[in-house]
Amino acid sequence: MPHATASIVFFLLVSAVLVLGFTASRWQSGGGDLGHIEEWGLGGRRFGTWVSWFLIGGDAYTAYTFIAIPALMFGAGALGFFAMPYTVLIYPILYVVFPRLWRVAKAKGYITGPEFVRGRYGNRWLALAIGGTGILATMPYIALQLIGMQTIIGALGLPGHVPLIAAFAVLAAFTWTAGLRAPAMISIVKDLLIYITVIAAIVVIPSELGGFSTIFAKVPAQKLLLATPPPSSAGAYSGYATLALGSAMALFLYPHTMTGILSAAGPRVIKRNAVLLPAYSLLLGLLALMGFMALAAGVRSMPQFADGFAKYGANYAVPALLLNAFPGWFVGVAFGAIAIGALVPAAIMAIASANIFTRDIWTQFIHSPSHKGETLVAKIFAIFMVVGAVAFILAIPSAYAVQLQLLGGMWIIQTFPAVILSVFTRAFNGWALLAGWVVGIASATWLAAENHFTGAIWAFHILGYTLPSYIALATVLLNTAVAAVLSPVFHAIADDRGQDETTEADYA
């Protein structure tokens, strides 16, 4: 085994955390019954400020984030820093929108975003569209966590897929028994390990390379700044800005992030986290710099890493950098942190998708079971999501998972008008929102296909001016415009405002 010490520490750490997951069933239980889906799938809405901070942070900052953002910096340069303004913009959205959504969800017993939409508009078909979008966008997201873990396992020189399958089999088991409490407990360990790894990296590696001035001096000039736009074009500037804004609008629409938010103990917990969570943005900025450190260290040209870069591409930059800079025992800790960073969000994604399938598909279109039956359906679907993601990554090239996740981001943002705007206004008609969703999904998919599913930016030509934009942002604006124009028409034909089961008092 080429990295014996690192592998032993890695397995001990991951095994300990997986065992911890099985002890979580009674943690933060408050005497709640895990046979009820609100207890299993939302932790009984009891998580306080610090548990929510770790859970939402562990939910949003995944293993693939810690692999892909430095890889983007390593390959594309400054464009990778879009993650910084993106993760700054999400917190005002969190502060303004989600305390209101939490209040109405608590008052009406909603556990998913689509369930709120169905209650708001009395339209189960609109809720089906929103819920189906969330599940479809989540499956490749889970697969990407496996890619992150697969990269780490490959960097350790471990053969085959057995460790990956074993880890996710155990994840499925403790997800079944403990529900959301398991990833909530594990996220505390995961985030502490990630912070330790990143802080050690930004202290040790620059000192080995001669300081940050030396690091930046070794980075090619074209990777340090965005390219200056040509005449009559916004160039990379508008692409960068719209990518950050559109990504921020989409993040908390994903089922797993919304589940983390709705599991909080109350609106004040959410507001406090909107203030405290930017600490993760600082962490992400430091992590992104590891891409430049890998460039300065020249890991791509080192013979011992040639096979890794040939197999994993730029995603191998962080593992190679850590292997080059640290002793085996610390590499084991760092790789363990990244692997656990795959397990936590994957578990939450599976649970969140199961909540949607149960409440917005099964009970609405197939069968309305008892509380225990409802939870059983959710557990079975959560296992299906985990197994499906593992099968996906084993049977299909990882490039397809990346492409589908890119498309998933363009799809999930199309739920913005129906979910986020509806928290503040009932001016829309449910059928108009559904029409806008169809237009948004179709136009985003078409533009992504025209880009051969390899790029998220499209150059729009407006009155002789070229305006590159993130496809997701441009198409959700079209989606919203269609819904706004059609709403008065649909209100005149079939006014659905009387079907709103929520009241203003539910939001206050």
For residue 469, what are the β-bridge partners? 458
Res 11 pLDDT > 70: yes
| pLDDT reported for residue 444 | 95
pLDDT of amino acid 151: 85
Per-residue pLDDT averaged across 415-427, rounded?
96
Residue 169: strand pairing partners: none
Determine the pLDDT at residue 232.
86
A 10 A CB-CB count for 206 gives 17
The count of C-alpha atoms lying within 13 angstroms of the C-alpha of 241, restricted to the half-sphere facing its C-beta, is 7
Lowest mean pLDDT among 131-145, 306-320, 395-409, 439-453: 395-409
What CA–CA distance (Å, rounded) separates 75 from 219? 11
| Res. 129: pLDDT tops 90 | yes
Residue 402 has pLDDT above 80, yes or no: no
- Averaged pLDDT, 388-415: 81
Q: Is the pLDDT of residue 352 over 90?
A: yes
- pLDDT (mean) for 14-27: 80
Identify residue 116 by its one-letter amino acid code: F
Residue 220 DSSP class: -
Look at residues 421, 375, 388 and name the one whose alpha carbon lies nearest to residue 101.
421
157-187 b/e (C-beta count within 10 Å ≥ 16 → b)? ebeeeebbeebbebbbbbbbbbbbbbbbbbb
508 vs 197, higher pLDDT: 197
Provide the pLDDT for residue 429: 96
Look up residue 357 and give its two tokens.
């399938």
The rounded distance, in Å, linking the Cα atoms of 97 and 271 is 10
Q: 248: which 2 tokens?
A: 């921020």
The 10s digit of each residue's pLDDT in 204-231 is 999 999 999 999 999 998 888 888 888 8
| Residue predicted with more confidence, 381 or 236 | 381
Tokens of 259: 């589940």
Q: How far apart are CA 176 and CA 184, in angstroms?
A: 14
Distance CA 40, CA 54 (A): 18
Residue 450: per-residue pLDDT: 92
pLDDT tens per residue across span 247-267: 999 999 999 999 999 999 999
Task: Supply the pLDDT for residue 273.
Answer: 94
Return the pLDDT at 100.
95
Domain ranges of the chain: 25-229+241-399
Q: What is the pLDDT of residue 406?
A: 82
pLDDT at 383 over 80: yes
Confidence at residue 483, expressed as pLDDT on a 0 to 100 scale: 97
Kindly give, in sequence order, each residue whose CB lies less than 8 Å from that of residue 76, ignoring residues fewer than 6 positions away: 223
The predicted-structure confidence for 80-104, as pLDDT tens digits, reads as follows: 888 888 888 999 999 999 999 999 9
- 46, pLDDT greater than 80: yes
More confident residue, 118 or 43: 118
- Per-residue confidence at 146, pLDDT binned at 50, 70, 90? confident
Position 401 scores a pLDDT of 67
Q: What is the pLDDT of residue 206?
A: 94
pTM to 2 decimal places: 0.93
Q: What is the pLDDT of residue 172?
A: 85
For residue 29, the model assigns a pLDDT of 63
* Dihedral sign from CA coordinates of 134, 82, 54, 418: negative
Q: How many residues does the chain have?
A: 508
Q: Looking at the predicted structure, is the pLDDT value of residue 126 above 90? A: yes
**Alpha-carbon span 234 to 236, nearest angstrom:** 7
pLDDT of residue 477: 97
DSSP 363-429: IIII----HHHHHHHHHHHHHHHHHHHHHHHHHS-HHHHHHHHHHHHHHHGGGHHHHTGGGT---S-
pLDDT of residue 170: 82
- Asked whether residue 396 carries a pLDDT value surpassing 80, the answer given is no
DSSP string, 143-209: HHHHHHHHHHHHHTT--SSHHHHHHHHHHHHHHHHHTTHHHHHHHHHHHHHHHHHHHHHHHHHHHHH
- pLDDT bin (cut points 50, 70, 90) of residue 413 is very high
Instruction: Indicate the pairing of strand 465-470 with strand 457-462.
Output: antiparallel
Say whether pLDDT at 169 is over 90.
no
DSSP 221-261: GGGTSPPPPPTTB-HHHHHHHHHHHHHHHHHTTSHHHHHHH
Provide the CA 127 distance to its chain's centre, in angstroms: 21
**Among residues 285, 350, 278, 361, which one has the least CA distance to residue 66?**
285
pLDDT tens-digit profile of 466-481?
A: 999 999 999 999 999 9
- Lowest-pLDDT choice from 45-49, 419-423, 482-486: 45-49
Chain-centroid distance, C-alpha 183? 14
> Would you place residue 462 in the very low, low, confident or very high pLDDT band (cuts 50, 70, 90)?
confident
Q: Does the structure show a pLDDT above 80 at 394?
A: no
Rounded Cα gap, residues 424 and 433, in angstroms: 15
Cα 81 to Cα 284: distance, rounded to the nearest angstrom: 9
| Domain 25-229+241-399, classified CATH 3.40.50.300, yes or no | no
Q: What does the pLDDT average to over 139-168?
A: 81
Per-residue pLDDT at 181 exceeds 60: yes
**pLDDT band at residue 30 using 50, 70 and 90 as cut-offs:** low
